[in-house]
Amino acid sequence: MIRIVRSTALQTVFKVLTLSGKGRKPFLQVIIDLTTLEKRGKFQEFSDLIRVYNGKRGLHLVVVYLVIGKCRIPWNFRVWIGKGTPSPAQLGLKLVQGLPKILTERFETIILIVLACTVLGKALSRGCIAG
């Protein structure tokens, strides 16, 4: 499934490239975001993944989005486990290093790191994010 989504995303990217014509490379924004899926109660199966970070208890995901024009495409993610592991920023940069060379070579790449610890459940319930 993820391969199909990425393939479709790359096709969209190449459409943007063909429309941009000659001259300066188009911009590719890469956003590294720490998102928390807030959890309450006991989750025995996920006890090694549920942590408290910045006062938020839940599953902390480092998500990499690609932004080309008006399109924001979730590209990759990793679960951030906490102490003793690479920081969310380091984890995000590792994900960025795994981007296909075809993207980084054909676009002027801008990396934005957002570590505000978005709580996804609250943002969805308040209508901040379209779900």
For residues 32 and 29, give the distance between their C-alpha atoms in angstroms, rounded to a whole number: 10
The residue that leads in pLDDT, 81 or 121, is 81
Instruction: Kindly report whether the global pTM for this prediction surpasses the value 0.75.
Output: no
**63-77, 85-99, 110-124: lowest mean pLDDT where?**
110-124
Q: What is the pLDDT of residue 57?
A: 79
Q: How far is CA 54 from CA 60, 67, 83, 115, 117, in A?
A: 11, 27, 13, 10, 8
CB distance 123 to 42 below 8 Å: no
Write the DSSP string, the chain. Answer: -HHHHHHHHHHHHHHHHHHH-SSSPPEEEEEEEEEEEE--S--GGGTTT-EEETTEEEEEEEEEEEEETTEEEEEEEEEE--TTS--HHHHHHHHHHTS-HHHHHHSEEEEEEEEEEEEHHHHHHTTSS--
**1-10, 15-24, 105-114: lowest mean pLDDT where?**
15-24
